[in-house]
Structure formats: C-alpha cells, structure tokens
Structure 1
Amino acid sequence: MQNSDHLDHEALKNLPNGAKLGWGLGKQPKRGPKGELSVKKIVEAAITIADKDGLSAVSMNRVAGSLGFTTMSLYRYISSKDDLLLLMQDSVCEIPIPPEVAGSDWREDMREYVKACIDVFRVHPWFGEIPITSVPVAPNNLLVIDWVLRAMRNFPLNDYEKMSIVLLLSSYSRSCGMIQRDMDRALQAGGSPDSFSGLDYSAALKQLVKPERFPNLHPVIMSGAYTGENESDNTVGDDFDFGLERILDGIEHYLVKKMAK
C-alpha cells in the first residue's frame, strides 16, 4: 500500500476514489474477519464475471454473491460501481512489460506495445466498453504508458510531441483491438471468417456496386481487394500490421525532419 504520510492530500483530492484505491490510498475497513474480503478479491471476482458474461452482468450484488458476502459488505471496500469499473480497467492493464534492452530498436519496442494493448481488448472483451472519462490516472495503466515512453527516451522531441505519439499508438491499438474483439465474438457465435471479411458477399457486391454510382470503389470491388479475394496478390500483408508500419514510418519521417533542423 502507498505510504500516504508524505503526500500532499490537497493535491490528491480530485482523484477518483477508484484511482485512490488503485494507488493503495484507501483505508481498509476494520470491521469483519481480517483477510476475508479485500479490494483485490472484489476486483478479481468482477473481472471473472465480465470475462464470462460481459460487462452488463457486473453489479455490486452479483459480485458480492459470487464471493459469498452481502452487497453492503462490498460497499465498505469500494464505494460505487464506477470505482469498481476503474479498478477493473486498471487491473487488466497489469501486463508483463519487457525488460529494457540496451540498443533495442524503437520500432520493435512500439510494435510490442501495440500488440500488448490489442491483446488486452481480446482477452477482456469488455475492456473497450468502459467509456473513457479522463487521461489514465491509475498505476498499472500509467506503467504501460511509461513503457512506451521508454522507447522515445532519446528522441529529439519535447514531452508534448512524445505524448501525441503515445495517443496515436494507443488510439490505433484501441481501434484494432476492438475490431479483432468483434471478430473473435462473431466467430465464437458461429460466424465464418469469410462472412466477417466479406468474402461471402463478394459476388453480390460485384453485381450491386456499379461504376456510375461508386466510381472509386467499383474497381476495388472488382479486383477482390475489398473482400480479401486473391490473397496471393496481396503484397502489403496483414491489414493491421500494414497500418502500424505506416504509422511508424510517419514517426520516423518526423524524427528525421526534427534532426535536420
């Protein structure tokens, strides 16, 4: 637990209660059998429910019942569902961060970061359903940001530029993660990969998409690129990897311009 003796409590007052608990700043209840219930156990139980039945299944009552306690018992540890959701979000951001390697390639470091972020959305499909209400303020999420900033330690950029790159990579990770999450859900529900990619609809689209109405889309449909036909002709590889590499190219180009000044 964070030692709060030397902290400026006035500066901490605006933090959400869930974030304070994540930093270990909350006071544990003294009533009740010691060790039977804790913030960590409550959050783990909520994540188990969300992973199995979705975010909508998570309620203080359901979580309490899964642990064998009353709902009021939970409120002594976590005062609201919003706080619980923040703690759940931060808990699944506790991912293995690779150790720093001297002379490592920043592009590869950023690829690892994006892949790890995408995996969070796939392993915990509910993660992207929690609305973003502020910058990350809880510890595990901030450790992940610290990790990607490590790759930029020697960049000739100011802190605002670095944080803009973090936002760019994180936004791409979120977008890709939610698309792949939806693909996983569709397949688990019995859908086919060809249906998700559009391959099942390729013949129909070639009939419906006329050049007079869709002059720019029509040739793409007819080539099969829109629905993933003729993959042997695909020279760009995976769509997500292609997009990430172009983002990294853009960062590299920006760095070259900065160093040339």
Structure 2
Amino acid sequence: MADKNADPELPRGIALAWGVAANPQRGPKREMSVERIVEAAIELADKDGLSAVSMAAVAARLGYTPMSLYRYVTAKDDLILLMQEEATGLPPGEETESGWRAQLEALYHGQVQRYLEHPWVLEIPLSGAPATPNSAAWMDAGLRALADTPLSPEERLAAMLLVTGHARWAGTIIADYERTQRDEGRAPADLARREDALFRELISADAYPHLRAAIDAGVFLDDSDPFAFGLARSLDGLATYIAALADGVREPPHPWVEAQDADVADDRRFREARKAVRDAEKVLRDARRAQRQAAREARERLGRLRGGA
C-alpha cells in the first residue's frame, strides 16, 4: 500500500531546475550537460523563436544525436521549462530602503527587459506559476516589497500579479513592434507614421467620432509610454488602498459580490434585467453596423460623383 504521507515525486523538469535530479549514469562525453543543452536551445529560440527548438535541432547544434540528449533531458516540455527558468533569471537586487512602490516598479522594468531579451518566453503557454527557483525569487521579491504594508498575504500576492500582468502585456506589445521593425527594416518613428496614416485613411468622424478625434490629436505619433502610465495609475490606486488600511479603513465589498452573496442572480427580476441589457447591446451593435455601412455607401457615392465631374 502506498504511503499517503510520502513526499510527492517531483517532475523531472522541476527537479532539474532545483538541482535535485539524478545525473545520467552514462553519456556520450563529459562535455555534455543539462546546462549546455539549455544554452544551445536558448540560442536557437533567441534567433528563430520557440518553434525552432526541438530535441533534434538542439542535438544538431551540439553535434550529438537526439538520443544523447534524452539521457539528460527526458522530454521537450522539461527543456522548455529549463529554458524559461534560465531566461527568467534573478530579479533586481534588494533595495528595501526605496519603498514598496519603487521596488515594484523595478520588478516591472526588470521583467519587461527580460521579455525583450528573450521574447520567445511569451510564446510559452501559461499553466500556472512555474515552480522553479528563479520564478520563486521574483515572487518573493514582490512579496518582500510589500512586507511592511498592511496588506494581507492574499492582497500582496494579488498586487504582485498586477505588476507581472502589466509587464507581460507591455513585453508582448513592445516585442511584437520590435520584431516588425526588424523584419521590415523600419525605425520606430517610421512605423508610427505608417500606423497614423492608415488610421487617418480608414477612420471617419461619422462612424468613429471619438477615435477620429484621438487620431487628429496625434495619439499614434506620441512617443510617451502608455504602459508606464497604466502601471502608475494602478500603483496610485494601490497606494490609496494601502493608506486607507493604515488608517483602519478596509474597502467594502464590491456591489456585485454583495449581490452574489444575497443570491440576487436567482431573482427573476435580475434575470429579466440582464436579458434586457443583452438585447439592448445587440440593438446598439446592429445600429453601429448599419451606421458604418451607411457611411461607406455615402463615401462611395461621393467618390462616384467626384469621378464623374
């Protein structure tokens, strides 16, 4: 009978990351190692993306056969995990004197930089927080930054996830733009001008009045950092919440939480109102679609009239 209290066996990839996996009994040469395999795989991914990484491709880069690699890394998923761990690296150094906000901002910028150095990391599907040393170090750094605040442990973790979410989104967008710039040989300003010109051509004030007003104001040519703005406003809200907790005031539950607790969702009137909202949203979508169609037809008629003049 299995011992229910026995420690669970670690997956090999995680065991390798923590350095507690057994080394292979035999290998092709002493020069082969898990570290060399991971390094070669990262070189492939940095050059051609995550899709370029296979056991065969890594083995060829190292001058061995794929079967030789399997003695060290038994599955591609384990190799991807180890690549992610290496690319993640360690967080910025401890600066507890700078306050929680500055520490979280440093973690944000550090994560964005990691994504830009190894954008293929963003291609790895999310399946929970990786239970690896470097990933744990980043989480610990975020919790350490908030250790002296009145936030609960759950709130500190939520605040850390807020920062990592901002970093991942910023890294995704910036990395995509940088890839486009490299592929097309364009400078950032050239790409911005092309994007602005495209929107000016397609977006009319009749169909999209607010977007057109923003375009006319030059939002697509502005070189300020929208991601830094979003992070700053999020941290402003967190600072306000922390200050309220310090004053002994805890924010009341959100109204929808109270509604759920009171089982309002089961109330007939609630269901009817929700259906009415959905119906109204459909009518609004249909009206906007008709408005855009009418605007296109009007532009086409105007073009024909001008062409016949």
For the superposition of Structure 1 and Structure 2, which TM-score range results when normalised by the shorter chain?
0.7 to 0.9
Aligned to 1:250: 237
Counterpart among 132, 156, 160 of residue 166 in structure 1: 160
- Within-5 A mapping of 1:142-221: 142-189=136-183, 190-197=185-192, 199-203=193-197, 205-221=199-215
Find the partner of 1:239 among 218, 226, 233: 226
TM-score, normalised with respect to structure 1:
0.86
Amino acid in the other structure paired with 2:237: G
Q: Is residue 2:24 matched to residue 1:29?
A: yes
Number of aligned residues: 244
Identity of aligned residues (%): 39
Closer/same/farther in 2, CA of residues 204 and 72 from structure 1, 3 Å limit: closer
Relative to structure 1, the CA distance from residue 202 to residue 41 in structure 2 (aligned partners, 3 Å threshold; closer, same or farther) is: closer
SS in 2 for 1:126: helix
| TM-score normalised by L of structure 2 | 0.73
The counterpart of 1:58, out of the listed 49, 53, 62, is 53
Change (3 A) 1:48 1:213: same
Q: Which has the higher contact order (CA 8 A, sep 6+)?
A: 1
What is the Cα deviation at residue 254 of structure 1? 1.1
Question: Which residue does 1:90 correspond to in 2?
Answer: 85
**1:7-18 residue pairs with structure 2 within 5 A?**
10-13=6-9, 15-18=10-13
Greater radius of gyration (CA): 2
Structure 1 residue corresponding to 2:121, chosen from 108, 114, 127: 127
Cα distance change, pair 32–17 in 1 and its aligned pair in 2 (3 A): closer
Which secondary structure state, in structure 2, belongs to the residue aligned with residue 216 of structure 1?
A: helix
Q: How many angstroms apart in 2 are the aligned matches of 1:12 and 1:173? A: 33
Q: How far did 1:94 drift?
A: 1.5
Amino acid across the alignment from 1:12: P
**Aligned: 1:70 with 2:65:** yes
Distance (Å, rounded) in 2 between the aligned partners of 1:47 and 1:184: 19
The whole-number CA distance in structure 2 between the counterparts of 1:201 and 1:130 is 28
Q: Distance in 2 between matches of 1:203 and 1:29?
A: 59
Greater share of residues in helix: 2
Backbone CA RMSD of aligned residues: 2.1
Task: Determine the structure 2 residue equivalent to 1:99.
Answer: 94
4+ runs deviating over 6 angstroms:
none
* 1:137 has 2:131 as partner: yes
